[in-house]
Amino acid sequence: MLSARRSTAVVALTYFVSTLLTFTTAALTPRSNSIVVREESAASAFVYGVDGGNITFAITAVKSNGDIWFHMAAPSKYSYIAFGTGKQMDGSTMWFGYASSDGKGATLSPRTSGDHVEPEYSSKIKCSLVTDGFENGVVNKTLLVNGHCTNFTAAQSGKNGDSKLNFDSTQQSFIFGLGPTSHTLHSNDLDAGIRRHTEYGTFQMDLTKATVHDGDGVTPPKGAAAWTNSNSGKAEDVTTGDMDYIIPVHAVAMCGAFVLLYPGGVLLLRVLEKVMWHAWMQGLATIIAILGVGLGIKLSLTYNHSKSFNAAHQLIGLVVVLACVVQFALGYLHHRAYKRTQRPTPLGRIHRFAGPVILLIGITNGFTGFNFSDNAKDNIWYGAVVAIVLVVTVGLLIWARIRNGRRAKKATSQEFGLPAYEGMRGEGGNDSGGYDASRYGSNVHLGTM
Per-residue pLDDT, 228: 86
What Cα–Cα distance (Å) separates residue 18 from each residue in 6, 235, 443? 18, 56, 121
Beta bridge partners of 136: none
Per-residue pLDDT, 326: 98
Domain borders along the chain are 41-240, 246-417+441-448
C-beta neighbour count of 217 within 10 angstroms = 8
**What CATH class does 246-417+441-448 carry?**
mainly alpha
- Cβ 212 vs Cβ 218: under 8 Å: yes
Q: Side chain identity at 86, as an amino acid letter? A: G
CATH fourth-level superfamily of 41-240: Cellobiose dehydrogenase, cytochrome domain (2.60.40.1210)
C-beta neighbour count of 359 within 10 angstroms = 22
What is the CB-side half-sphere exposure of residue 263 using CA atoms within 13 A? 21
Per-residue pLDDT, 241: 87
Question: What is the spatial distance between Cα 179 and Cα 184, in angstroms, rounded to a whole number?
Answer: 9
- Cβ 368 vs Cβ 316: under 8 Å: yes
- Cβ 78 vs Cβ 198: under 8 Å: yes
Per-residue pLDDT, 163: 82
C-beta neighbour count of 429 within 10 angstroms = 11
> Is there a common fold for 41-240 and 246-417+441-448?
no
Q: Model's pTM, two decimal places?
A: 0.79
Per-residue pLDDT, 39: 47
Beta bridge partners of 97: 81, 108
> Whole-angstrom distance between the N-terminal and C-terminal Cα of the chain?
144
Task: Find, among 155, 178, 161, the residue nearest to 57 by Cα.
Answer: 178
pLDDT per residue of the chain (449 residues) written in tens, 0 to 9: 444 444 555 445 444 444 444 444 434 433 333 223 334 568 999 999 999 999 999 999 999 999 999 999 999 999 999 999 999 999 999 999 999 999 999 999 999 988 789 999 999 999 999 999 999 999 999 999 999 999 998 888 666 567 889 999 999 999 999 999 999 999 999 999 999 999 999 999 999 999 999 878 899 998 877 888 899 988 999 998 888 899 999 999 999 999 999 999 999 999 999 999 999 999 999 999 999 999 999 999 999 999 999 999 999 999 999 999 999 999 999 999 998 998 999 999 999 999 999 999 999 999 999 999 999 999 999 999 999 999 999 999 999 999 999 988 887 877 665 554 444 344 344 444 433 434 434 343 454 45
Per-residue pLDDT, 13: 46
Residue length, the chain?
449
| 130-143 tens-digit pLDDT | 999 999 999 999 99
Per-residue pLDDT, 416: 63
Question: What is the spatial distance between Cα 138 and Cα 136, in angstroms, rounded to a whole number?
Answer: 7
